[in-house]
Structure 1
Amino acid sequence: MSITTTTHLNFHGEARAALEFYQSVFGGQLTVATYGDFGMPQDAPGAANVVFGQVETEQGFRVMAYDIPGEAGGTADSDTAASSTGSTRRDNGVTLTDQPFFVSVRGDTLDEIQGYWAALSTGASIVEPLAASAWSPGFGMLTDAFGVTWILDVAAVYTA
């Protein structure tokens, strides 16, 4: 038996923009279906919003997203996103947050993670800069322009 978990992000009219951004960062295949595609009249408010969206890569990255029905559209603005999704910050070496989850991306090499970091940090609020840590050759945390907090790190190689 195998099992796969996929992060499913909920947005307020920004799901398509977020998924397009994540595809630009990680590559892969973008799939988007709107409420209008599933029968909502095309001229109805929210018909163009995402009812199902996904970015998936051959390397194993996958994220899903949709727009919460009936919610007013937002903007991909850090202040708006942060106020609607919570906040995360570092204080005296401790991560303080009111968010229920972070999205973690772990790579095999620092070069790989640095590439994702450079792209994902566009418009982001840096919580912890990408740098070597006690447990990883590279670890960083940021909250992107859509209010999603990401942890990026390099898998540590332990020797016995």
Structure 2
Amino acid sequence: MTLRHSLYLTFPGNAAEVLTYYRSVFGGELTMMTYGEMGNLDEYPFAPDPDWVAHGELRGTVNVSGGDGGDHPLGSPVYSMVIYGDDVEEGRALLDRLAEDGGEAIMPYEQAPWGDYYGQVRDRFGVIWAVAASVR
């Protein structure tokens, strides 16, 4: 078995907007299917809008999957998405892109006590992204 990872986020009705935004930040290939395309809407434990994304997947350097699932706000201080790399300036540029258009830096991107560069941004949708770049 080949294992791969993907984040899965449940969106409050704006999955198409968020996933399209993440594609603009991370690049990759994005596919989406709506609930209307899936078929019988009565099979779900909630009443989805037929235009909502039932499943979306961004595949690339960063993999993100998700769909619309009701009135669940994104963002919580109890978790963050962590991206590791080995290029300090690329890490800085990624955090800058996530902070654009309403995001906010919540931890400056600088050399941490353990030697790597590290910083955090809450994107405009409320999701916290951490970027670490190894300098070893």
TM-score normalised over the length of structure 1:
0.72
- Unmatched segments (≥5 aa) in structure 1: 75-83, 88-96
Structure 1 equivalent of residue 8 of structure 2: 8
For the residues of structure 1 that align with 2:15 and 2:110, how far apart are their CA atoms? 30
Match of 1:145, SS state, is coil
Match of 1:139, SS state, is strand
Residues 1:66 and 1:144: Cα distance change in structure 2 (over 3 Å): same
Once the 2 structures are TM-superposed, how far is the Cα of residue 40 of structure 1 from its aligned partner? 5.1
Q: Cα deviation per residue 1:38-80 (whole Å; 9 max; x = unaligned)? A: 1258xx96111111111111xx320111100xx25x9xxxxxx
For the residues of structure 2 that align with 1:154 and 1:35, how far apart are their CA atoms? 39
- Superposed counterparts of 1:55-94, under 5 Å: 55-57=58-60, 60-68=61-69, 71-72=70-71, 84-85=73-74, 87=76
Residue 112 of structure 1: which of 76, 84, 90 is its match? Answer: 90
- Superposed counterparts of 1:9-158, under 5 Å: 9-39=9-39, 46-57=49-60, 60-68=61-69, 71-72=70-71, 84-85=73-74, 87=76, 97=77, 99=78, 101-122=79-100, 123-157=102-136
Once the 2 structures are TM-superposed, how far is the Cα of residue 109 of structure 1 from its aligned partner? 0.3
For the residues of structure 2 that align with 1:129 and 1:20, how far apart are their CA atoms? 26
Show structure 1 runs of 4+ deviating over 4 A: none
- For the 8 Å contact 1:128–1:142, the answer to whether it is kept is yes
Match of 2:37, SS state, is helix
For the residues of structure 2 that align with 1:104 and 1:56, how far apart are their CA atoms? 16
Once the 2 structures are TM-superposed, how far is the Cα of residue 6 of structure 1 from its aligned partner? 1.2
**Could you say which structure has the greater relative contact order, defined with CA pairs below 8 angstroms and 6 or more residues apart?**
2
Matched residues, number: 130
- Unmatched segments (≥5 aa) in structure 2: 42-46
For the residues of structure 2 that align with 1:46 and 1:4, how far apart are their CA atoms? 30
Alignment root-mean-square deviation, CA = 2.1
